[in-house]
Amino acid sequence: MELTRIPKRKIDRAKIVVGIPRAFLTFRYQTLWQSFFDALKIKTVMSQPTNLETMTKGENKANSEMCLAMKIYLGHVASLEGACDYVLVPRIADFGIRRVMCTTFQALPDLVMNIFRHASFKVLSYNVDSRLKTDEKEAMIAMAESLGFSHSEAKKAYKTAHKASEDAYDQQVEENEKLYKQKGLKIVVAGHSYVTEDRYIGKPIFDYLKDNGIIPIRADLVDRKEALKAAHKASPTLKWELSREIVGSLAMHYKDIDGVILLTVYPCALDSMVNDMIMRKNKMAEIPLLQLTLDAQSGTAGLETRLESFIDIITMREEQEDHGEE
């Protein structure tokens, strides 16, 4: 499968501009990608944070069955039109046996190339797929080689970027873990980083919780190795990598929190199954739990009403426990 539209002619590397859509896996790999291109001295441009215009652009490009996160992603890709030569759209299929990604991430380069077939930019991609025995390192080195860099140049850039990414994530996890030990009511928001970190759909929920005296904690920021072990105990057959990290994170921390918000976007098939499993099988059933499904509606009144009620439930439960009531 051809994943790039890189011309075979010699490329002037000094003039390359790579666009990065501020959506989907960018929130997971931003440091890795940015450091990689910086090391290769390739100029990058990132789309602006999501706003109503981004949403509208994405909805115009998407079909009705695509999830909200996909519509947002397409809006970010559209916003990079005219600002770059290439748009980075990786294909990440899996990380090994029972460690697969959503099919959206497997099909993403093909989807973008077809939807934006008349765009001025080309799609730049790399392919992570255990069946093809290509891991992240090999795939990103191959991508750089396709741009005209030598193997040694690409390998050195990946080494630098990988370390920067690991260091940055470790720091994020360390800061997140500190929140579990703070005094006060703590609610874990269990959602994918492209939902929790998105300024337009996810951040307002964190802001609302903070404004109402709650300590919001992200479930997706966790020691991934430990989370995968914990997830296996909760469900040995769960195979989606990002969902396993979240399930494992909840299993590791449920004793330290007062409530859980399962945050998803409509219509995410994976979350609909995984969240149901969390509610039915996990020990989280002992803790107040709210499931929020975000759609493209711009109003927040209904969302705030549900959050307000959920906070009231947790607060009353806390007060009853303080008074020794059952």
- 3-state SS of 57-89 is HHHHHCCCCCCHHHHHHHHHHHHCCCCCCEEEC
Statement: residue 322 has pLDDT above 90? no
- What is the average pLDDT across 270-286? 80
Q: What pLDDT is recorded for position 298? A: 61
Pairwise CA distance, residues 72 & 25, whole Å: 12
Statement: residue 4 has pLDDT above 70? no
Is residue 88 within 8 A of residue 316, CB to CB? The reply is no
Is residue 278 within 8 A of residue 262, CB to CB? The reply is yes
The 10 Å Cβ neighbour count of residue 324 is 6
Statement: residue 282 has pLDDT above 80? no
The mean pLDDT value of the chain amounts to 92
Q: What pLDDT is recorded for position 10? A: 61
- What is the average pLDDT across 109-132? 96
Contacts of 276 (CB under 8 A, 6+ apart): none
Q: What pLDDT is recorded for position 78? A: 98
Confidence of residue 5 (pLDDT cuts 50, 70, 90): very low
Per residue, what are the HEC states of the chain?
Answer: CCCCCCCCCCCCHHHCEEEECCCCCHHHHHHHHHHHHHHCCCEEEECCCCCHHHHHHHHHHCCCCCCHHHHHHHHHHHHCCCCCCEEECCEECECCCCCECCHHHHHHHHHHHHHCCCCCCEEECCEEEHHHCECHHHHHHHHHHHCCCCHHHHHHHHHHHHHHHHHHHHHHHHHHHHHHCCCCCEEEEECCHHHHCCCCCCHHHHHHHHHCCCEEEECCCCCHHHHHHHHHHHCCCCCEHHHHHHHHHHHHHHHHCCEEEEEEECCCHHHHHHHHHHHHHCHHHHCCEEEEEECCCCCCHHHHHHHHHHHHHHHHHHHHHHCCCC
Q: What pLDDT is recorded for position 266? A: 93
Q: What pLDDT is recorded for position 326? A: 53
Contacts of 235 (CB under 8 A, 6+ apart): 247, 277, 281
- What is the average pLDDT across 174-184? 97
Statement: residue 178 has pLDDT above 60? yes
Statement: residue 113 has pLDDT above 80? yes
Q: What pLDDT is recorded for position 283? A: 58
pLDDT > 90: what percent of the chain?
A: 82
- Ranges 58-67, 162-171, 272-281: which has the least confidence: 272-281
CA angle 314, 286, 260 (to 5 degrees): 50
- Ranges 4-18, 105-119, 312-326: which has the least confidence: 4-18
Give the closest residue to 197 by CA, choosing from 206, 188, 208, 187: 206
In the numeric block, which tokens belong to residue 100? 């697969």
Pairwise CA distance, residues 159 & 143, whole Å: 15
